[in-house]
Amino acid sequence: MDNLNTIISAIFFSFIHIDKQPIPRGERGGPNVLVLSPTRELALQIAEEVKKYEYHGIKSVCVYGGGDRRQQKKIVTDGVEIIIATPGMNFSRHFVFRRVLMRFVLLNGYQDA
């Protein structure tokens, strides 16, 4: 199984995790899942794959340096359950969450073949 398929498989488990939380999504105050990817290209690829699968209205966003920060921030503040990002993004400077409920973190390592 390649790197992308491995991370997508893990995200499927996160869908169930998000859906089964005791606090309703509208009251959580922030995302539940953070996916860190080593490169912008891989982060965008993961985001594209995640958007192919709809599961109970769970929303995701890809945030990375060099992207439209206002648009990314609007999507996050409007409510998102999954953030796919590159490690260089400074969340504390650009995104503020009322409550941190990040309970599922996926780290995607880059492997040079």
Per-residue pLDDT averaged across 67-93, rounded?
76
What pLDDT is stored for residue 63 in this prediction? Answer: 86
Range of the domain at 48: 3-21+28-107
Determine how β-strand 82-85 pairs with β-strand 60-63.
Answer: parallel
Between the two ends of the chain, the Cα-to-Cα distance in Å is 14
Task: Kindly state whether residue 85 falls inside one of the protein's structural domains.
Answer: yes
| Per-residue tokens: 103 | 């309970």
What separation in angstroms does the CA of 11 have from each of 54, 70, 109?
Answer: 12, 26, 15
| Size of the chain, expressed as the number of residues it contains | 113
Task: Kindly state whether residue 61 falls inside one of the protein's structural domains.
Answer: yes
| Model confidence pLDDT, tens digit, residues 54-71 | 788 888 988 887 778 788
Residue 112 pLDDT exceeds 70:
no
Confidence band (pLDDT; 50, 70, 90) for 100?
A: very low
8 Å CB contact between 19 and 58: yes
Q: What is the mean pLDDT of the chain?
A: 76
The number of folded domains in the chain is: 1
